[in-house]
Amino acid sequence: VWTHAKGDTAASRAHLARVAARNPGRAADLEQIFARVERISATPLQDALSPAQVAAARNGKRAIVTLGYALNPDGSMHPILEGRLETTLKLAKDDPDALIILTGGVPQNRKTEGRLMADWLVAKGLARERLIEENYATSTVDNALFSAFALARHGITHAVLISSASHVRRGQTLLEIACSQTCRPGIEVVSVSYPDKPLNELSKVSSGELLGIYRDALRTYGMWSYRSAPLIER
């Protein structure tokens, strides 16, 4: 994975062949991770759903997954988190049948991101019955794993992930990997960005961002060397 992320295709293929000789299933999973990261990295960022995406999801069960952002020490929300919620609110009003999963559990001043996000949306007029609070995730990997359980439980067929533009590719990659292990087959995941930076400045994935995506992809997948959450208790 490291040599693939660094662009050394020959070395990566040689290593992958050794994996395939020992464990063909693991090699196939890694190939899928490569393809997923490359597809998401090449997809232009967007700050709204396209008409085609709206139409494709119309007849399915839909959910919006909003990733939290670290609270201030006094327990108040950072402007970036409020921006993600503004994006969530618009999508939720456009699709009143969609469930909304709010994920983030790092406490500050006895408050969690999930609870504050839910309270904010209710104050803006959304019904609390639409909201699913996830108050335990402490990382983007946790966000993906715990949200995937909620998507599976509710039989969701189309999910929209919301995060900051500088973070949304990683969030979508991890949620797709988590869903591939937990959710119903064929679930579609797309992403909408809150523009914490101009989208044109983020059109190309940096090498640092790419390495971070691959690292967390392996953690979400369950690679033992990363002490992945599903394996820590073993």
pLDDT at 234: 44
Over residues 117-136, the mean pLDDT reads 97
The pLDDT confidence band at residue 222, using thresholds 50, 70 and 90, is confident
Query: What proportion of the chain, given as a percentage, has pLDDT over 90?
Result: 94
Higher-pLDDT residue of 209, 234:
209
Contact present, 34 and 173 (Cβ < 8 Å): no
Over residues 206-234, the mean pLDDT reads 79
Cα separation, 180 vs 183, in Å, equals: 6
Output the pTM of the full model: 0.94
Q: Is the pLDDT of residue 191 over 90?
A: yes
Over residues 117-133, the mean pLDDT reads 98
Q: Which two tokens stand for residue 177?
A: 């990997």
The pLDDT confidence band at residue 226, using thresholds 50, 70 and 90, is low
- pLDDT tens for each residue of 90-114: 999 999 999 999 999 999 999 999 9
Q: Is the pLDDT of residue 160 over 60?
A: yes
pLDDT at 184: 87
Over residues 153-166, the mean pLDDT reads 97
pLDDT at 121: 98
